[in-house]
Structure 1
Amino acid sequence: MMVRDVLDILSQFVLYIGILFSLIFVYKVVYILIAFRARREKHQEGKEVPLRKYAFLIPARNEELVIGQLIKSIKNQNYPKELFDIYVIADNCTDRTAQFAREAGAIVAERFNQKQVGKGYALNHLLNVIETDYASKRYDGYFVFDADNLLDENYIVEMNKTFDQGYKIITSYRNSKNYDQNWITSGYALWFLYEAEFLNRPRMYLDTSCVISGTGFLVHSDIIKENGGWVHHLLTEDIEFTVSQIIKGVKIGYCGHAVFYDEQPTTFSQSWKQRLRWAKGFYQVFMNYGKELFLGMIRGKGYRFSCFDMMMTILPIVIVSMLSLIGNALIFLLVPFEGKGLIQTYLIGGLTGILWVYCLLFGIGLVTTIMEWKKIRCPGWKKIVYLFTFPLFLFTYLPISIVALFKKIEWKPIPHTVVKSLDDLRSRS
């Protein structure tokens, strides 16, 4: 076989991968278009709904700096105080998290277990404490938050409205406490805003299932009982929980009017470690639930598209990307045998592909920034600058995802140091 024949085969291979990649994700571009229509729907005000009783579950590990502000934002909710309780599980803490949480008004349990480490184990322990020591309270649902979060004062009111629509799991609008800190924090924050308004909102509009992302969600007590507590302990327990419920046919809702804020990692080292865990967790979920999702795409009654959507979310695209990179690398190794003109052709083609992806990601960031401009707590000039760094932030997922394929990864906490109140956030333009 001639060198040119090999080049032609490799070129076709790379082309087909690109086409496959585009076809798989073109529906998410349609999501953006649907989101504009969904956003035009007027928010229903004035409708009275039954007031349910809720419990807040807050896993916290060495969070003495931020735990007080979260509890304060919960206690300041425009919702009857007798209808919600705040529980903190101080998980393997070596600081004064438990003390500060109690002083702020939370019910606190402490857990010390160095073998079963992670948010899932802490949640399950806390649920067992509630079932044992506070069984008489009988909650309708459980909110799950991280210790660095802050809640808008109407958070419970808005979530309760969506809960009244029959959804047993609901996620909410995720904003950022430190969007303006640097290109890393803004990269995270802009992606979460895109997830909320241009993925979950159109899913809600289309009456398909939304996706939970880490924190800021509500779970019906029946779901917890049916599961026997919190039984999800992979590195991304939120995605595992989402997938497991979608496979069962449970539809997850989204409440865009329930707003909370969280803190993003500030250094690339912290970001690398966190996203390495996320990437590994996605692989774990794919390996554990991929078959059932595929069967749900074929046999699921009323939730086939939700299974497809979730499959596209957890699909290890990095493997496809690696195959494409390998194909391109082989092309560049063989091209010199065919002359400099061919080298230039393939080099220009490769750079064009990278530029096309950059522009696509820039477009996602641009649309999100324009639509969420007033909600982003950041000076205007920084919002514009971070548009250009947003694609670069997402590009760094490629090496992270490749390393995650081969490295053993364990759950490790990310330190939170941004001590802000809601008033501090509102003072920023």
Structure 2
Amino acid sequence: MTMETFIRYMNFAILVLFFLCYSYQVVYVFIRLLKKDVVRGERPFHRYAVIISARNESAVIGGLLQSINSQKYPKELLDVYVVADNCTDNTAEIAAENGATVFERFNRVQVGKGYALNYIFHKIDEDKGIRYYDAYMVFDADNVLDENYVYEMNKVFDDGYPVITSYRNSKNYDSNWISAGYALWFLRESRYLNGARMQCGSSCAISGTGFMVDSQIIEKNQGWKHHLLTEDIEFSVDNIIQGNVIGYCEKAVLYDEQPVRFKESWNQRLRWAKGFYQVVGKYGKGLVEGCVKHRSFQCFDMLMNIAPAMLLTIATLLINGGAMMMGLINGEESLFLLAGGEIINCVASIYLSLFFFGIVTTITEWKQIHCSSTKKILYLFTFPIFIFTYLPIAIAALFKKVTWTPIQHTIVRNVQEIRQ
């Protein structure tokens, strides 16, 4: 077999593998476009606790707490707890002024959101018992909530879902191409991944913030036991392997702040990429067994979301890049041109695929994207470029030691200001 033949076969095999792994996500788009949402009527009210882990978030935590205090939900059934985690500012004071029950935690060894959540759950258990509340809602300090957030989440919880995620929008879509890249990805994830999963009866996945957990799960786990760098994905995968179906509430809308500087974005996504590898290492076998032994589509879905896309892309670029170098060194012009063409085809096809998801999301969520029409259109074209920047991040995460570091939040906007 010649090198040129090998390159052709290899690229075709990767193309087929891509199709087998991800064509279902195109089907998801049409499911969401063609299938009507379930309409839920009034439901009995349940008792909830809001959990917020905050580290030096004095600039933004007041906005979140004000949006919680403004919820159209019985106030006697909604308590708020804040763990001021290794804070050196007045986060705890501001949280207390806004009516939250505050616990200060200082631990420089066990660092990260998962440890802070576990700490607050044990504090609640010592005080009232973990089952005093029917469920717990978890937010990041930079979030703000639509006034009907809890009311709408309550409807889905009453349907029997033990874990529920919500619609994730952005406070600063209009900042630049970086914040818009994040925001458009999360909008697409909300509507065309979790939304489609919900309509198909499959399991959704929580994404960092804005989710609810039944108190029975917290009791069973004896707190919060997930401490990898991406504790949200770890929690999702663990529940899916156990057979729990994660629900989604599209009418429960939260807004969060996205990074605008590339260095911050790089560090954050480096942690995410490393965390994905950690989840694969710890839970990959369980997901594969779920796919093979139990023919679980939701295990397959999660496996596709945490594993192969970036690695397949990197493999394609490395194989063809190596063939180009070989052709250049050996004077084989045909090999050089073939491999170069395959790289161009790979980049172009991925760009167009991402542009497809971006344009569908932008059109259907047009009114939910709060920036000028010009920026909405412009950021369609930069969205695939933003996703492409994951490639060097994914490579770096394979080799670099990564630790949890906080992201600074500074944007203070209430829901009305965001929508304006």
Asked if the contact 1:280/1:409 (under 8 Å) is kept, the reply is yes
Partner of 1:10: 7
TM-score scaled by length of structure 2: 0.97
Residue 9 of structure 1: CA displacement? 1.5
1:371 to 364, 367, 377: 364
Asked if the contact 2:138/2:209 (under 8 Å) is kept, the reply is yes
Distance 1:426 1:318, change over 3 A: closer
Distance in 1 (alpha carbons) for counterparts of 2:130 and 2:118 = 19
Number of residue pairs aligned between Structure 1 and Structure 2:
419
Partner of 2:351: 358
Stretch moving more, 18-27 or 371-380: 18-27
SS at the partner of 1:292?
Answer: helix
- Match status 1:264 vs 2:258: yes
Superposed CA offset, 1:250-278 (max 9, x none): 00000000000000011000000000000
Partner of 2:304: 312
Partner of 1:73: 67
Distance in 1 (alpha carbons) for counterparts of 2:112 and 2:336 = 50
Asked if the contact 1:11/1:327 (under 8 Å) is kept, the reply is no
- Match status 1:208 vs 2:202: yes
Partner of 2:285: 291
Distance in 1 (alpha carbons) for counterparts of 2:341 and 2:243 = 47
2:37 to 33, 37, 41: 41
Partner of 1:395: 388
Distance in 2 (alpha carbons) for counterparts of 1:338 and 1:15 = 25
- Match status 1:165 vs 2:159: yes
Residue 426 of structure 1: CA displacement? 2.3
Within 5 A, what are the aligned runs for 1:240-259? 240-259=234-253
- Match status 1:25 vs 2:22: yes
Residue 338 of structure 1: CA displacement? 5.8
- Which residue identity is paired with 1:27? Y
Distance in 1 (alpha carbons) for counterparts of 2:119 and 2:351 = 44
Gaps of 5+ in 1: none
Residue 424 of structure 1: CA displacement? 0.9
SS at the partner of 1:416?
Answer: coil
Asked if the contact 1:11/1:331 (under 8 Å) is kept, the reply is no
- Match status 1:322 vs 2:318: no
Residue 50 of structure 1: CA displacement? 1.1
Residue 345 of structure 1: CA displacement? 4.2
1:193 to 181, 184, 187: 187
Stretch moving more, 340-349 or 172-181: 340-349
Distance in 1 (alpha carbons) for counterparts of 2:363 and 2:47 = 37
SS at the partner of 2:252?
Answer: strand
Distance in 1 (alpha carbons) for counterparts of 2:349 and 2:308 = 21
Superposed CA offset, 1:127-167 (max 9, x none): 11111123398100000000000000000110000001110
Distance in 2 (alpha carbons) for counterparts of 1:375 and 1:322 = 34
Asked if the contact 1:144/1:218 (under 8 Å) is kept, the reply is yes
Distance in 2 (alpha carbons) for counterparts of 1:319 and 1:51 = 45
Distance in 2 (alpha carbons) for counterparts of 1:273 and 1:48 = 43
Residue 173 of structure 1: CA displacement? 0.2
2:397 to 393, 397, 404: 404
Distance 1:326 1:345, change over 3 A: closer
Asked if the contact 1:7/1:334 (under 8 Å) is kept, the reply is no
- Which residue identity is paired with 2:406? P
TM-score scaled by length of structure 1: 0.95
Distance in 1 (alpha carbons) for counterparts of 2:31 and 2:131 = 41
Residue 109 of structure 1: CA displacement? 0.3
Residue 357 of structure 1: CA displacement? 1.2
1:334 to 326, 336, 341: 326
SS at the partner of 2:6?
Answer: helix
Residue 106 of structure 1: CA displacement? 0.6
Distance 1:202 1:335, change over 3 A: same
- Which residue identity is paired with 1:100? I
Within 5 A, what are the aligned runs for 1:19-168? 19-38=16-35, 40-41=36-37, 43-44=39-40, 47-135=41-129, 138-168=132-162
Asked if the contact 2:290/2:299 (under 8 Å) is kept, the reply is yes
Residue 329 of structure 1: CA displacement? 1.9
Identity over aligned pairs, percent: 53
Distance in 2 (alpha carbons) for counterparts of 1:275 and 1:137 = 35
CA RMSD of aligned residues (A): 1.5
Distance in 2 (alpha carbons) for counterparts of 1:326 and 1:363 = 25
Distance 1:42 1:245, change over 3 A: closer
